[in-house]
Amino acid sequence: MFPTATLDLLFQDPAMFDSPNNWRMAGFEVYGEGHPSSIMVASHVSTPTLLFKKYSKSVSMRKQLDNYRQRIKGADKLRTLITGQRLSRLIVPQKRLYELTAAFSHKGLPSYVLVVDKLDLLKPFASKQQYRELDKDGLRQLCTALHKFEGLDSGVRNIPFTRSGQIAFIDTERWDEDKEICLKHVSKYLSDKQRRFAAKLLEH
């Protein structure tokens, strides 16, 4: 259930999104500093099952909203693929919009936060090890998703493993781009045998 009342209490200061440090001072744990135009990611102890993603005001409200909707649409399309083809080894978190109060509006446009279900993810080192041990069925399911949505970044930080053994698609921003980079990044953690198997899958 979407905890609207809780979020209303958490997001009250319009200056909190001016920088990662401002957001941190508002009581959130903010991950990474990043470039001012990069999306910020944070969590709060009162909502342990959620993550929040937000751009600073250096990015227009219109561009922010378009980006959030793009991420939501990508997650929804991935989820449809996972459900339709029974790709039980894959998972994508739910993503939805939360509209902030009028105090956060900028230049007459409303401001939003992207709210994401928080998954129990492995650290990058552990995820890399899981890729080295990925069996044929897991590799088949991964290739199915990456071949369908070629723009998705196949770096381990964007498709890590969960503690339950599923591959999580946590970055769904560029799902509709035609990059033909399937397995480009994660392939370095696969064995020669795994890469040969994946290559055969991607030929069809």
Q: What is the pTM of this model?
A: 0.91
pLDDT higher than threshold 90 for residue 179: no
Bigger pLDDT: 2 or 180?
Answer: 2
**Both tokens of residue 108?**
């007459």
- Of the ranges 15-29, 32-46, 79-93, 111-125, which one carries the lowest mean pLDDT score? 32-46
pLDDT digits (tens, 9 = 90+) for 59-72: 999 999 999 999 99
Query: Alpha-carbon distance 100 to 98, whole Å?
Result: 6
What pLDDT score was predicted for residue 30? 95
* Confidence label for 180 from pLDDT (cuts 50, 70 and 90): low
The mean pLDDT value for 49-67 works out to 94
Over 90: is that where the pLDDT of 183 sits? no
Mean predicted confidence (pLDDT) in 31-38: 75
In the chain, the DSSP E strands lie at 29-31, 40-43, 50-54, 90-91, 95-99, 112-117, 167-168
Q: Is the pLDDT of residue 95 over 70?
A: yes
Helix axes 136-148, 61-84, angle to 10 degrees: 140
Q: Which residues contact 27 (CB under 8 A, 6 or more apart)?
A: 10, 44, 45
- Please report how many Cα atoms fall inside a 13 Å half-sphere around the Cα of residue 20, on the Cβ side: 15
